Amino acid sequence: MYSNREKIVHIAQAGIIAAIYVVLTLMAASFNLANGVIQVRISEALTVLPYFTPAAIPGLIIGCFISNIITGCVVLDIIFGTIATAVAAFGSYILRKNRYLCSIPPVISNMLIVPFVLKYAYGMTDAVWFMALTVGAGEIISCVIIGQILITALTPLKKVLF
């Protein structure tokens, strides 16, 4: 099992990841890109971090939950948006042995969950398939493109950071 030191490091890493997620979401929100039919949440790039550490899973879930509250999301979005990120984080962790595949679960979970949140929580009138495409495009930008850049940048520092 984990030693006390490892538990503290795990909690600290999760907290740092949550804080970075919130800051990046607020930055995206300042450009009106954190929520809505067209969204590119740069913070979602962090969903590849389970590739490095399981501490990223609670960090991402807590960061998304706090971000959704701070950016004024409705309760259904707070709940199901956080679930989408939780599914993404667990999926990335499951696929952590392949750096390229680990960026796919966030795209899929958000494409499947967020359009229904937009439709039923916010009353968006766009077709669900259209919102799945727009949300998916934003997730590809954040998770696949920026996420893979993040993995490349962090790999040399893996032993120091994680």
pLDDT for the residue numbered 74: 96
Given this model, what pLDDT does residue 1 score?
66
Which domains are assigned to the chain? 4-161 (1.10.1760.20)
* pLDDT for res 34: 79
Instruction: For the full predicted model, state whether its pTM sits above 0.85.
Output: yes
For each successive 10 residues of the chain (162 residues), what is the average pLDDT?
86 97 94 82 95 97 97 96 96 96 97 96 95 95 96 93 85
Which pLDDT does position 37 carry in this prediction? 79
DSSP at 118: H
The closest of 143, 135, 103 to 118, measured between CA atoms, is 135
What per-residue confidence (pLDDT) applies to 161?
A: 84
Assess contact for 66 and 153: CB atoms under 8 A.
no
* Nearest by Cα to 115 from 26, 29, 35: 35
